[in-house]
Structure 1
Amino acid sequence: MSSFNLWWTLGGTLVLVITLLVKTPDKNSAAFVFTDFENFTGWESRGFVVLLGFLQAVYTLEGCETAAQVAEEAKRAELLAPLAVVGSIVGSWIIGLVYMLALLFSVRSIPSIQATSYAIPIAQLYYDAVGQRLTLMCLTIIALAQFMAAVTAFTASSRLFYALARDDAFPFRSSFMALNRYQAPYVGVWLSVLAGCIISCAYIGSAIAFNAILSSAAIAVMLSYMQPIFIRVFWPTTSLPEPGPFTLGTWSWPINMASVTFTLFICVLFILPTATPVNQSNMNYAIVAIGGVLLIVASVWLIWGRSHFTGPVQTLSDILSPEETPKVE
């Protein structure tokens, strides 16, 4: 599935780019692509409007850490997992840049996309650029890529459920650690699917609620990225006494410090209103969603975690010295 996902994403992006560049009758100029500035937010500060665009950019980073979440199932994870994380970010940047340029060269009218009646605004862009039939093909490619991305997310989240249950961090340990015949923690998988369906239904019921979920998801992911980096910055020797094969060396502290600073800045930015004048329909409710998540986490910790969780379960390689570690012949 992972290999198919990779090749479908690469091949699908190539098909989308070629379709847009070949079938769009009149392409935009390079001056439009690289210098045009569109502002539909109502804010007068161009700098602030540019910063608001970080939400979509950060949203694309969600899931880049999946390799770390399934590292226990991989070989040579101490080296390959960080390489996979960095590689996914670099690869996504390159592919995303090519795709974005194709969209910008092909877009017919940004105001029409802003005012579209379609549930998915990008459908309007494809419809204006390549017509109805090719739009259906392009949206099918995107939909399948999104579906496989969701499967990857469900896989990662189910492993998180398993790891937290194994470490006795929350109740129902035996349920979350139960494996099916494919050796997958199926309770965590289906719970993740249920949560995904509820979030998807939120878009049908209220675009405001859905946008709040997206913003809060970006904030929550950034906070989860920041926690180990924060510990690494202020407790470098106790958090990781010995560096692994993938290390930044003397650049570790300044890069980690820059990461913490950027993450805090982004989290504050993402709770600010994205449009003005602020009213009930365009208010950013991400702070409410994040507050709800923190309340649930704090409640679980107070009720269960603090009396049961004692730290990650250690493996034999963590406890024994290299000379004492059993060898399989």
Structure 2
Amino acid sequence: MSVALSLGSLLKIVFDYGLSKTELLGITLCIMVIHLVLNCRYLNVLSWLNQLNVFWSCAGLFLVVLLLSFVTKQHQDPLWVFTHFENQTGFENPYYVFVLGMVGATYALFGAEGSAALTEETENASIAAPIAIVTSIITAWVFGCIYLLVLLFSIQDMDAVLTTAYNLPVTQVFMDALGTPLTIGFLLLMILCQFCSGSAIFTICSRQVYNLARNGRLPYSPQLQKLNSHDVPGMAIFATFLVACCVILPYPLSDHIFMIIVSAATISACTSYSITLGCKLFIGTGDKKGRFHLGRFSKPVNIIGFIWALCAVVAFALPSKWPITVSNANYAGLALCVVVCLSCWMVSRTCH
């Protein structure tokens, strides 16, 4: 979807043509089909795309930061950047709005553990996988902070960003700060990075499906764990494609429905994080340690991660607009309550 939104913004700039939601959906489905084919047959291309993405993302981000720092017509005052509070939620309590703002930070960390799903295809995985996880979080935090600060300093008109006609509001920031040619270059950079990242995420999700199926934890596990002629789990990849289609299909009907589905999926991921961290924190693993461990920092980091995961679940379940209506209510919170109640009922039934 992110590739389609970036492409929609690009077409709006170049041809003054705005894509409809149905057209955005069609582009997204086409991109997903490409990812499906790449993951099923062309692993060498996937490897090349991942390497390209690392270089392109780092070099592109460095170039974007330089352009916004030295080419922008006018920069915002530091006081505005660090103290201005833009509240479009309808809630008056700043602390509540701050919690809602943390949702974006949760999205930024989402999927950092993806390398763990590819450990069986990684050399020296017991060291490489955890290092990849830690490195991805650190680099995302450092470069993300730099990019966000430069972006905030480069905003020319906040109202124009909030009411922009572009599919991606950040496009308006670049248009106001750098002009049309550089904004087109920025969008092309984003499209390539998003496409490469999408193929990698597709691979990670399909391997998670394969791992669960191999352990007999999914319906049709015998079929999902089969490898095709290219030694990849073809059925698991296709199942991932079908689930992704089901998630994206409601988008033309309502932005709100689509965001509810995304929020519910993120709540599920954060809940799985909290369960894993909670088990390690309260049950422990004995004296057994892997080749990579945090030593005496393990417990403090575990506590922080556990609290963060729980707070993220709460943040995604909270209403994000006031007054609350049928069209803007956060039904992901209601779905979470239903799942928790059903889970407790099933556990209690098993115990008795």
TM-score between both structures, scaled by the size of structure 1: 0.82
- Is 1:86 equivalent to 2:134 in the alignment? yes
**1:248 deviation in Å?**
2.4
Which of 127, 152, 166 does residue 104 from structure 1 map onto?
152
| Amino acid in structure 1 at the alignment position of 2:293 | T
The number of residue pairs the alignment matches comes to: 300
| Amino acid in structure 2 at the alignment position of 1:122 | V
Contact residue 263 and residue 332 of structure 2 kept, 8 A: yes
- Is 1:219 equivalent to 2:270 in the alignment? no
Alpha-carbon distance between aligned partners in 2 of 1:212 and 1:173, rounded to the nearest angstrom: 28
Alpha-carbon distance between aligned partners in 2 of 1:145 and 1:292, rounded to the nearest angstrom: 37
Q: Secondary structure at the residue paired with 2:250?
A: helix
- Is 1:251 equivalent to 2:335 in the alignment? no
Cα distance change of structure 1 residues 295 and 208 upon mapping to structure 2, 3 Å threshold? farther
**1:167 deviation in Å?**
1.0
* Alignment match, 1:316: none
* Alignment match, 1:193: 241
* Runs of 5+ unmatched residues, structure 1: 307-329
* Alignment match, 1:95: 143
Contact residue 50 and residue 197 of structure 2 kept, 8 A: no
* Overall identity of the aligned pairs, in %: 33
* Alignment match, 2:51: 3
**1:88 deviation in Å?**
0.4
Aligned pairs for 1:108-127 (under 5 A) are 108-127=156-175
Q: Deviations over 1:108-138 (max 9, x none)?
A: 1222222223222222222222223322221
Contact residue 56 and residue 193 of structure 2 kept, 8 A: yes
* Alignment match, 1:236: 284
Q: Deviations over 1:49-78 (max 9, x none)?
A: 122111111101112101111112212212
TM-score between both structures, scaled by the size of structure 2: 0.77
Q: Deviations over 1:129-174 (max 9, x none)?
A: 2223322221221122122222111111111111111111123233
**1:107 deviation in Å?**
1.0
Alpha-carbon distance between aligned partners in 2 of 1:73 and 1:241, rounded to the nearest angstrom: 28
Cα distance change of structure 1 residues 297 and 62 upon mapping to structure 2, 3 Å threshold? farther
* Runs of 5+ unmatched residues, structure 2: 1-48
Task: Select between 287-296 and 221-230 the one with higher mean Cα deviation.
Answer: 287-296
- Is 1:274 equivalent to 2:274 in the alignment? no
Q: Secondary structure at the residue paired with 1:71?
A: helix
Q: Deviations over 1:162-210 (max 9, x none)?
A: 1111111123233212223432212222332333344334333211012
Q: Secondary structure at the residue paired with 2:268?
A: helix
Contact residue 209 and residue 240 of structure 2 kept, 8 A: no
Contact residue 24 and residue 130 of structure 1 kept, 8 A: yes
| Structure with greater helix percent | 2
**1:12 deviation in Å?**
1.9
Contact residue 55 and residue 218 of structure 1 kept, 8 A: no
Cα distance change of structure 1 residues 241 and 158 upon mapping to structure 2, 3 Å threshold? farther
**1:293 deviation in Å?**
7.4
**1:227 deviation in Å?**
1.9
Q: Runs in 1 of length 4+ with deviation above 4 angstroms?
A: 288-298
Cα distance change of structure 1 residues 208 and 12 upon mapping to structure 2, 3 Å threshold? same
RMSD: 2.6
Aligned pairs for 1:1-329 (under 5 A) are 1-237=49-285, 241-288=287-334, 290=336
